[in-house]
Structure 1
Amino acid sequence: MKRTVLPVIAMLAGISTAFAFNITGPDGKLDVSVELDAEGRPYYSVTLDGKTMLRQSPLGFESNIGSFTTSSSIVPSEVRRVEEHYTLDRIKKSSVDYRANEATVSFETPGGGRWEVEFRVSDHDVAFRYRIPRQGDTGAIYISSEASGFRFPSGTTTFLTPQRTAMENWKRTSPSYEEVYTADAPMDAVSQYGRGYTFPCLFRVGDDGWVLLSETGVDGYYCGSHLSDYRLDGLYTIAYPMPEENNGNGNAGAAMALPGYTPWRTITVGRDLAPIVETTVPWDLVSPRYDSANSYEPGCGTWSWIVWQDKSINMEDQKAYIDFAHEMGYRYVLVDNWWDTQIGRDRLPELAGYARSKGVSLIMWYSSSGYWNDIEQGPINCMDNPIRRKAEMRWLRSLGVKGIKVDFFGGDKQETMRLYEAILSDADDHGLMVIFHGCTLPRGWERMYPNYVGSEAVRASENMYFTQQACDDEAFNATLHPFIRNSVGCMEFGGCFMNKYISRNNRDGHRRMTSDAFQLATTVLFQNPVQNFAITPYNLEDAPAVCMDYLREVPTVWDETRFIEGYPGRYVVLARRHADKWYIAGVNATGKPVTVTLDCLAKGEAYTLYCDDADRNPVRKDLTAGKKAPSVTMQPGGGFVVIR
């Protein structure tokens, strides 16, 4: 990893008394303007190629030591060039060259309070955060709210999912980032629960382009944020956790020592959707929180619970899934809730030993536990207490367990962010990977924590077991995630069903509405370094061999990602490269056939196509591109994968 900061010769609109300042990206097309209005309130705006993407949007925050929302002047620093190269094997691109321009703008309140806004502008990303110096003898601050906002031009439409009211839903576990999306909605539509929207948030700015909002760098020193409901005149603002989260325990704001920084708020901007899909801004702005003496292996896994549910957490079924993982050449088996009682702690060494004999490693489920919901699924009371947690992790390591999945967290308060970080840090001390479910959005965590391997934070595949509506909506949702949720972080979705019916016997239960080729395509479209697929041992006999052969070979990490074409909620086609092999995948939610031209294939190039036949049965074709670029037609609810 190499980071270089160099001065840039730039024209500043005055240094000490100016009321406007501009910083542009390296290619000069993305521009941020910072100014004060007549009342001394600071605003910023964003343009791309001269088109307004964000209008005058407020800056500032409220705290226990004063209001930091006004200033008597703008004092910008010299613009600096930031250049960094880093490698990371768990995101959409393994080798990243980050280039941006950086400047800090200083403000002073009428009462003498000092605060700064640090801006980073690359070719398609804007990021800002607040730096708060010591205020005289004051060395600590509690931030209760932010004025930070995003004001869109009129006519903008939204692709958003609502933040759920705290302490609602099953076992009082919300918010869990598992609500449904609406597509192309007007800005003034009220969120479902009146609590705003979950990051990330996608906006279409008329015909001028797209904007994706999120945040990164959140750790135990701050709370997680979301987006407020729509306010007047195109404005949304940063919203903090609800006081009711964590069963009312802990503050809803953020406390920090001074000098201190807030997390980065990120704004990804594109005239088309390629910058949205391909952005690396969540990881460009953060750095590792600790070094690791361990190495962590990505790979595929099997998972009985997703189709066979709670009753499958027994020794016989788990050994069947271990045998299945061995047959598929997979690294992992995820053993879900109730294992402490339905298998028993005293028999876990036997199960772990059996897995080792098959060349397979276990990932064990835990409740996050604590005082914030009504979960009874065990093991409980292991992960919230540092003394018990370390002893548990030491025991798991002695058995050769390679990871844990921790579920059912209590919200986005700072104390919960501390728990996430503590679990990750202690797990790394014991060589354990960590997956989070029933949880918040990861915010740069793939780079911050070397043993972090994914979060749910989405309405994931388990809902297809529980409702037919989730099966009916599967195609629609799949065409959203590459543009929104999965664009900013690993997504532990747990998909790729080969069952026609989401049940153990594959004859009843909710019916899958998508084709088998669609399911294969999601293994490429949904990115997570450890993929626990929803396939079952019976699929070796009742699923098409062409699909099972494909699933034996599909990688889970990627060296490059490119957007090909699509529109959120309608269809999507992406290309991902693993080593020297490209996987091009698409799915269709339009209700009618969609034909995609494969311009990336050169004349004479050999490729393998997995697609639907006329009856939506999966077929494999080994082909050679001709003089005219080949094409593939996706059936409604269908998909394809090309390997070249």
Structure 2
Amino acid sequence: MNLIRYSFLLSLVAVAVRLDAQQVYSPNKKIELSLSQSKEKPGSWFLSVSYQGKTKTPVFSQIKLGMERQDQSFTDNLSLKSSSKPVAIKDQYTTLHGKSSNRENEAQEIIFAFVNTKGSKLNVVARAYNNGITFKYEFPEKTQGTFVIKREATAFVVEEKVERWLQRFVTSYEGFYPAQKDSALTGEWGYPALFKIGDQESCWTLLTEANVDRTYCATKLSNQENKSSYQLAFPAATDGFNTGQVNSTLTLPWSSPWRVAIIGQLADVVESTLVEDVSKPSQLTKTDWIKPGVSSWVYWAYNHGTKDYKKLCEYIDLAARMGWPYTLMDWEWDEMTNGGTLEDAVNYAKSKGVKPLLWYNSGGAHNQVSSGPRDRLTTPESRAKEFAWLKKIGIYGVKVDFFESDKQDMMRYYLDILEDAARYELMVNFHGSTVPRGWSRTYPHLMSMEAVYGGEQYNNQEYMTTKGAWHNTMLPFTRNVIGPMDYTPVAFTNSQHAHTTTYAHELALAVIFESSIQHLADRPQGFDHLPDPAKFMLKEVPTAWDETRFLAGYPGKEVVIARRKAARWYVGGINGDDRSKKVSIPFHFLTKGKTYRAELIADGDYDSGFDVKYLTIKEGDTLEVKCLPRGGFTLLINEM
């Protein structure tokens, strides 16, 4: 009897140990994710994440878990009932645009099943990928009715010594990503958030979220209560001019968006497609109408240029000369004068072989921008009427602006626009918007999103004059990691505020920044006066890539990125510093045994000059390129 009782006690201890610590490893064994229960607060649970580089590095000592519904809590009162055996996740898919055309990612998935004191269930589904971790919550029960989420307890605990690059939250996500070494800085922060764990050789992580749908709001990070703990926070009540509910309403069963931490070396971060990898696959069966490409854009040089038919025609002619497929007719096209109407401009574009794109104010009570056209997309009926008309007259895509909120009602509005636009074969670009959250995979006609302090800011204030080069070298490590970015790059002339980047720096942005519709910003004479090598490069540069490789760089200092389309490689490099420097290009990404010819378009002796050289290179070579202050270069590589 004593032996049986002793064996029973041993089994209880074994179960307790098993339930108090559960691990799952990435397929390459570099990332470990484990579950533990708080010793100070039994019933509270957290994930821990470590990365095996040269040494084992704790990435997050704690990621606090839990959800609080209006009817009951799933935070500090949870019992772990079971944990599944790790299951291999293998995902292969193709894309029409983005960093790469063929995607493949692997993970190990584990499901932790909890119950609260009332016996209600909450699952945490966690995955360890080769380049990060993701997790989401599930309410698996089929209880009738609707349920309101009061808060999400998810919080990433970051050590004080960790260096970080964070953007103060604004609803448009337009701002800078300054380095923060002062752990006392508190506030609300927008995604993505970049952290360096340990020294440069250790580990980097980028926080964001993916696969947001109609059943939830988008979130942000807040360390206002605890400077070392970045908690997921809901939108403010005042967002969207006080329209929409802060707390999300859902029905059961339900799954949350994925919480995403991209983890590894800088190359793992920059090259990552994890946000799209965990998002819902494409919902479209017919996609031959979705065509990435370059567009001319009147707004940057002439803020009200779309009102002027003749001025707009100059940009149509520019697109025709450069062989670009698109021109964007921006706001106020409904007020067009000086010789023509919108229909005249559309017909003129079509006569030149240029496809027109059209701007819309998202309208509604959530924004107070009066510029039109507005209020034409706010209901299913108005969208159907407008999109049918656009399809009839020959419009290929819409740019929809001024959303001003991440509340659940706005998530629904984004997705309603995407689904209705697909019915009329219209590509979509969101401006004044939230950041990408994986929708470009689900809806591949979503070509780009703004959510960036971009080229148009030269119109608004002087900050880009002094900070533009530094800011440009931040974006490949932050905003552009998580999805397409409509920065509207490449300007050689000046807008309202001068730029101090060199011409070679501006040219390189067409490669450095990824956006499936790339709106090149400059006025026609800015492109017409370029020397032939730079002009030919802009005539041919793709906007959708088969492969992307990070070659060198550091946030805010410099960056070198290689992108391949078919057999040709484009390498872009930019200097974010106010001093000259030599930037090294390693050619380890080339095929061994082959010889390549390369055309280098680099800084000349002064900021508006170019130095063009022709080279022969092969795998294993290294090239040093001298960059002027705030300079850059572009390298075009072909097999011989």
Question: Same fold by TM (over 0.5)?
Answer: yes
CA deviation vs aligned residue, 1:283-336 (integer Å, no higher than 9, x gap): 111223622434211100100011111145321111111111000001111001
- Picking from 365, 380, 385, the partner of 2:379 is 385
Deviation at 1:26, TM superposition (A): 0.3
Kindly provide the amino acid, as one letter, of the partner of residue 547 in structure 1. Answer: A
**Corresponding position: 1:150 with 2:156:** yes
Aligned counterpart, 1:582: 569
1:62 aligns with one of 68, 91, 105: 68
Flag the 1:14–1:48 CA change in 2: closer, same or farther, 3 A.
farther
Cα deviation digits, residues 572-594 of structure 1 (max 9, x gap): 11111111111111111122222
Measure how far apart 1:277 and its partner are. 0.3
Query: Match for residue 192 of structure 2?
Result: 200
Give the structure 1 partner of residue 602 of structure 2.
Answer: 611
Matching residue of 1:633: 626
- CA distance in 2: counterparts of 1:419 and 1:22, whole angstroms: 39
Matches within 5 A, 1:320-335: 320-335=314-329
1:534 is the counterpart of 2:535? no
Query: Cα distance, 1:352 vs. partner?
Result: 1.3
Please name the residue that 1:167 is paired with.
none
Alpha-carbon distance between aligned partners in 2 of 1:571 and 1:63, rounded to the nearest angstrom: 46
Distance in 1, matches of 2:49 and 2:581, equals 35
**8 Å Cα contact 2:491/2:526 also seen in 1:** no
Number of matched pairs: 610
Taking the TM superposition and a 5 Å limit, the aligned residue runs for 1:447-486 are 447-486=441-480
What per-residue deviation string (whole Å, max 9, x for no partner) do you get for residues 18-45 of structure 1? 2111011001120001011132101111
> Where does structure 2 lack aligned partners over 5 or more consecutive residues?
1-13
Q: Is the 8 A contact 2:333 2:373 kept in 1?
A: yes
Task: Judge conservation of contact 1:521–1:640 (CA < 8 Å) in 2.
Answer: yes
Q: 1:80 aligns to what?
A: 87
- Give matches, 1:414-453, under 5 Å: 414-453=408-447
Q: CA RMSD of the aligned region, Å?
A: 2.1
Give the equivalent residue in structure 2 for 1:181.
Answer: 177
Matched residue SS, 1:477: helix
Q: Could you tell me whether the CA contact under 8 Å between 2:466 and 2:500 is conserved in 1?
A: yes
TM-score by length of 1: 0.91
Measure, in 2, the Cα distance between the counterparts of 1:178 and 1:210: 23
In the aligned structure 2, how far is the partner of 1:156 from the partner of 1:444? 27
**Distance change (3 Å), C-alpha of 1:243 and 1:624:** same
Match of 1:168 in 2: none
Give yes or no for the alignment of 1:243 onto 2:237.
yes
**Identical residues among aligned pairs (%):** 33
User: Does residue 1:515 correspond to 2:511, yes or no?
Assistant: no
Q: Which moved more, 1:562-571 or 1:346-355?
A: 346-355
Answer yes or no: is 1:37 the counterpart of 2:46. Answer: no
> Aligned-pair distance for 1:157?
1.4
2:361 to 367, 379, 388: 367
Is structure 2 residue 332 aligned with structure 1 residue 338?
A: yes
CA distance in 2, matches of 1:289, 1:222: 20
Query: Could you list the runs of 5+ residues in structure 1 that have no partner in the other structure?
Result: 1-12, 165-174, 503-508
In 1, Cα distance between equivalents of 2:72 and 2:613: 67
SS in 1 for 2:485: coil
Q: Deviations over 1:252-278 (max 9, x none)?
A: 1222211110000001111x2111101
The Cα shift of 1:235 comes to 1.1
Provide the C-alpha distance between the structure 1 equivalents of 2:182 and 2:197, rounded to a whole number of angstroms.
11
CA distance 1:283–1:551, shift in 2 (3 Å): same
Partner deviation per Cα, 1:526-565 (whole Å, 9 max, x = no partner): 0001111012222254444432222111111111111111
Q: Distance in 2 between matches of 1:100 and 1:628?
A: 34
- Whole-angstrom distance in 2 between the partners of 1:233 and 1:409: 30
User: Is the contact made by 2:186 and 2:222 (CA closer than 8 Å) also made in structure 1?
Assistant: no
Do the aligned partners of 1:304 and 1:313 also contact (CA within 8 Å) in 2? Answer: no
Cα distance in 2 for partners of 1:259, 1:604 equals 57
The worse-fitting range, judged by mean Cα deviation, of 424-433 and 303-312 is 303-312
Q: Secondary structure at the match of 1:82?
A: strand
Q: Tell me if structure 1 keeps the 8 A contact 2:305–2:312.
A: no
Letter in 2 for 1:240: F
Q: Residue by residue, what CA displacement relative to the aligned partner does 1:473-515 show, whole Å, maximum 9, x if unpaired?
A: 110110011010000010011110021x21xxxxxx4222011
Secondary structure at the aligned position of 1:320 is classed as helix
The corresponding residue for 1:567 is 554
- Inter-partner Cα distance in structure 2 for 1:348 and 1:591: 44
Aligned equivalents of 1:234, 1:557: Cα separation in 2:
39
Aligned: 1:265 with 2:252: no
8 Å contact kept, 2:464–2:499: no
Q: 2:147 aligns to what?
A: 141
| Contact 1:17–1:74 under 8 Å retained in 2 | no
Rounded to whole Å, the distance in 2 between the matches of 1:243 and 1:433 is 31
> Given residue 176 of structure 2, which amino acid in structure 1 is its aligned partner?
V
Give the Cα separation in 1 of the matches to 2:485 and 2:279.
19
- Residue number in structure 2 paired with 1:117: 124
Structure 1: distance between partners of 2:584 and 2:368: 51
**CA 1:289–1:223 in 2, change beyond 3 Å: closer, same or farther?**
farther
1:318 and 2:312 are equivalent in the alignment: yes
- Is the Cα contact below 8 Å between 2:144 and 2:251 reproduced in 1? no
The one-letter code sitting in structure 2 at the alignment partner of 1:409 is F
SS at match of 1:372: coil
CA positional deviation for 1:159: 0.3
Comparing 607-616 with 419-428, which one deviates more in the overlay?
Answer: 607-616
